[in-house]
Amino acid sequence: MECGRPIGKMSPMPPSPRDVELSPAARSARVALYLLLLAAAAAALLIPTENAPGAGLGRRAELLVAPVLLGAFAIGFTAYRFTLVRSGKYHAGKAFVQVGLLGLVLFLFVPGSVERWKASGATPPVDLTRQLRSADPEARAMAAELVRHRLPEDARRYVPRLVTLLSDPATEVRRQARASLAAMAREDVGGEGPDAADRWRTYWSARGVAFPP
């Protein structure tokens, strides 16, 4: 031995959970945490998460079930690991890594759930379909301009009508329709010319937008 210290006097590593006898309270806490984690996973998989603006209280409460259960599991798991480390029944390094990974999961999962919950209570936006088909060119131009200020998932449903408006007899309507399509795509895919509408149809069809026959 380089240090002259016998092996028998080296500080022992904390035993793993399999090497120690947990108290009845610790075993009960472990079972409760497993059940809580299973419930959070089931809620995340089984409860629909699509945005539903203007949803009722029941639907809004459903959107909170998974993040609340996961948050409760994170708090309970952290306390459980901390208690075992304090009592010398679990390695501090392992506990730190596990709690860190759990924090990363919360960071990735919870913000999206909160955004969906906020969106579910929002008032549904005004439908612009009638304005886009109005006989008044000013109304059509204004509606075409408003489309690019909507959320992407709402604005996409107006794409077929905007493509049709590229051939509108009013110059301002054509200009606003093109500007909205370019803003949504973040580039002017169609450009100018008689084939502009066809280029836009090809672009949006490749991205899942259905055009009427």
SS3 letters across 135-169? CCHHHHHHHHHHHCCCCHHHHHHHHHHHHHHCCCC
Rounded CA Rg of the chain: 29
Confidence of residue 19 (pLDDT cuts 50, 70, 90): very low
Residues 116, 151, single domain; the answer is no
pLDDT at 74 over 80: yes
Residues 104, 138, single domain; the answer is no
Residues 78, 133, single domain; the answer is no
pLDDT at 172 (0 to 100): 96
What percent of the chain has a predicted confidence (pLDDT) above 90? 33
pLDDT at 54 (0 to 100): 46
Choose the final residue of a domain: 76, 91, 120.
120
Residues 200, 110, single domain; the answer is no
Residues 27, 76, single domain; the answer is yes
Q: For 64-73, write each residue's pLDDT tens digit.
A: 777 888 888 8
pLDDT at 1 (0 to 100): 45
* Domain assignment of residue 213, yes or no: no
Choose the final residue of a domain: 86, 120, 154.
120
| 151 or 188: which leads in pLDDT | 188
pLDDT at 80 over 70: yes
Helix (H) or strand (E) holding 197: helix 196-205
* Domain assignment of residue 24, yes or no: yes
pLDDT at 58 (0 to 100): 55
Range(s) of the domain holding residue 53: 17-120
Domain count, the chain: 2
Q: Which residues in 25-52 are b (16+ Cβ under 10 Å) and which e?
A: ebeebbeebeebbebbeebbeeeeeebb
Please name which of 199, 116, 183, 115 lies closest in space to residue 146, comparing C-alpha atoms: 183
pLDDT at 160 (0 to 100): 95
Choose the final residue of a domain: 120, 155, 174.
120
* Domain assignment of residue 177, yes or no: yes
Q: For 121-179, write each residue's pLDDT tens digit.
A: 555 678 899 999 999 999 999 999 999 998 888 899 999 999 999 999 999 999 999 99
